[in-house]
Structure 1
Amino acid sequence: MSTIRDEWGENSSLGRLWATLTALAGERGRAVSVEFVCAVAAERFGTEAACLIVTGPKGVAELHSSIGELGHRIPELEVTVGEGPIRDSLELGSPVLSTDLDAEAALRRWPVFAPLAAEAGARACFAFPLAVGVVRAGVLVLLHGTPLSPGPASLREALVFADLVLAMLMGEQVARSGPVPGPVGDEFPIVGPEVHQATGMVAAQLDTDLETAFARLRARAFADGRRLSEVAADVVARRLRFEPDPDLR
């Protein structure tokens, strides 16, 4: 990725950050990967966890990488309840900053997600979109277990980290000659292969479409107070079977 430093110049924000990360990676015996950049972003921002959400060609969001338990748990929770700062940042194409998910403002904005996120151990969530114009490639998310109020300098630096991650992702896509992500769609399934498989099985069990099956899977996870991946694993292992709702017949 040496072209990043060449393209933006050593004196630009991206160029300086790239030089700093290159030196830091050398000290730690690491490569400057997207995962490494996300981890350092969390360190610099003072958060204990992070995750990177990327959108595919059809605007479907997926978890690219995560740092810390919260980095995996919180995106999955958003999928389960259907609301949260990551979704908002993807849809709006702008940063969504919550310094305390247990505060009144957060509870009003995300009445289902916020209290569950706080219960799961996340009190602060900062979502920075990876976007250029209508191209929305994803969101860089920084998470912390206690309320956190970053200053303007930290926020500016986080935006530069997001720009760098976007540049690296787009560079990877160009190298693979793949399509550049388009505008994000209505779907927001940050799920793994097991959840996809379980959705297909539930659709067959209920004789319904995949969208309805996925909604039933999410509803069961929410009602049971369990992780979506755990419910999906039970379906795939045939420990859990969905039956048609007699009230809908």
Structure 2
Amino acid sequence: MSVARVVRSIERAAAAGDEAGLPHRLCRAMCESLDMDGASMSLMTHTEARQLLCASGDEALRLEELQYESGEGPCMTTSESGTPVVCADPGEYLTEWPIFGSRMREELPRVALVLALPLTPSGARKPIGSVDLLRHTPALPGDQRMAQALAAARSVTDILLDRALRHFGGTEPLPWEPSDVIDAHWGRARQAAGRLAARRNIAVPDALALLRARAFATGRPLPQVCADLFDEPT
């Protein structure tokens, strides 16, 4: 598929439904046009204000969770650096992200390739987030495939900014589905960090680090750890 056809497939997906399902349609279109088995998308990925927009399935969601819990991984790197990151055969060698890498090998053994792409607006230098694409076979992207992937990511970024800019940075929850998953995995984590910070008289980033450490130590997803905090008596 040519770069132009990949971009057209992204644009058709964006126009094919309402705003609530926009990120999911974009993730699905990227998977179909780039021959990938899963996708996830987040804003401000390498910051404490990180916001999940979409995960196409359980594997893609857990890939996002593991990176958020460990504070490292390909999507964190691509969001900070603005360059694509290819993580091939993660189960066969030590990655540059030791905590994330070990958890990924244990929990996502079927994932043989992760391609992380920055969401960089046209004409801009800094990304506003990232997309993670996963594959069950470790075929490395060649020059043409990488060009297609980067063009798709740019198209996705411009569509998000054009159709949803008014929602970014607001106080209302983002209108995207599944809203309960998005809130549970990111909104509630920030709320839990704020509650723990107030309880222990520490900074919010330090509280979030404690929650991440608890998730890592227990092997439980961060949303479950945060839910426990809300169940504890104040």
TM class by smaller structure: 0.7 to 0.9
Query: Per-residue CA shift, 1:35-66, capped at 9, x if unaligned?
Result: 3122121123222210111139x883211111
Residue matched to 1:123: 112
Q: Normalising to structure 1: TM-score of the pair?
A: 0.73
Which runs of 5 or more structure 1 residues have no equivalent in the other structure?
A: 1-11, 180-189, 242-249
Mapping of residues 136-215 of structure 1, within 5 Å? 136-173=127-164, 176=166, 191-215=185-209
Q: How does 1:76-155 map to 2 (within 5 A)?
A: 76-104=65-93, 107-121=94-108, 122-131=111-120, 132-155=123-146
Distance 1:97 1:205, change over 3 A: same
Looking at structure 1, the residues matched to 167 and 190 of structure 2 have their Cα atoms a distance apart, in angstroms, of 26
Q: Separation in 1 of the partners of 2:167 and 2:203?
A: 33
Percent identity, aligned pairs only, is 29
Contact 2:10 2:156 survives alignment (8 Å) = no
**TM-score (norm. length: structure 2):** 0.77
Check conservation: 1:90, 1:136, Cα contact below 8 A: yes
Q: Distance in 2 between matches of 1:22 and 1:133?
A: 20
- How big is the shift at 1:203? 1.7
Counterpart for residue 246 of structure 1: none
Give the superposition deviation at 1:165: 0.3
Pairing 1:61–2:50 present? yes
- Check conservation: 2:10, 2:30, Cα contact below 8 A: no
1:216 matched to 2:210: yes
Distance, in Å, in 1 between the alignment partners of 2:161 and 2:48 is: 15
**Which residue in the other structure is 2:174 paired with?**
none
* Structure whose CA Rg is larger: 1
CA distance in 2, matches of 1:21, 1:108: 31
Measured on the aligned residues, the alpha-carbon RMSD in Å equals: 3.0
Mapped contact 1:45–1:150 kept (Cα < 8 A): no
Aligned partners of 1:142 and 1:217: how far apart in 2? 27
Q: Which moved more, 1:82-91 or 1:40-49?
A: 40-49
